[in-house]
Amino acid sequence: MCRFATYFDPVAGLWVVEEVAPVGGWHFVTGGTGNLPQTIYGFYLTDTPNPPTVLYGSQLLDTPIPLSAAGQGFDIPPPRFNFSPNSPF
The C-alpha atoms of residue 69 and residue 55 are separated, in whole angstroms, by 30
pLDDT in tens, 29-79: 888 778 889 999 988 888 777 787 888 788 888 899 998 888 888 877 777
The predicted structure's pLDDT at residue 3: 66
pLDDT classification of 25: cutoffs 50, 70, 90 = low
Amino acid at 7: Y
Q: Are 5 and 17 in contact (CB under 8 A)?
A: yes
Residue 55 is predicted with a pLDDT of 84
- What confidence category does residue 89 fall into, taking pLDDT thresholds of 50, 70 and 90? low
Cα-Cα-Cα-Cα torsion 63, 76, 52, 80, nearest 10 degrees, comes to: -90
pLDDT of residue 29: 80
Sequence-ordered list of residues with C-beta below 8 angstroms from that of 27, at least 6 positions apart, any chain = 73, 74, 75, 76
Does residue 37 have a cis peptide bond before it, meaning omega lies within 30 degrees of 0? Answer: yes
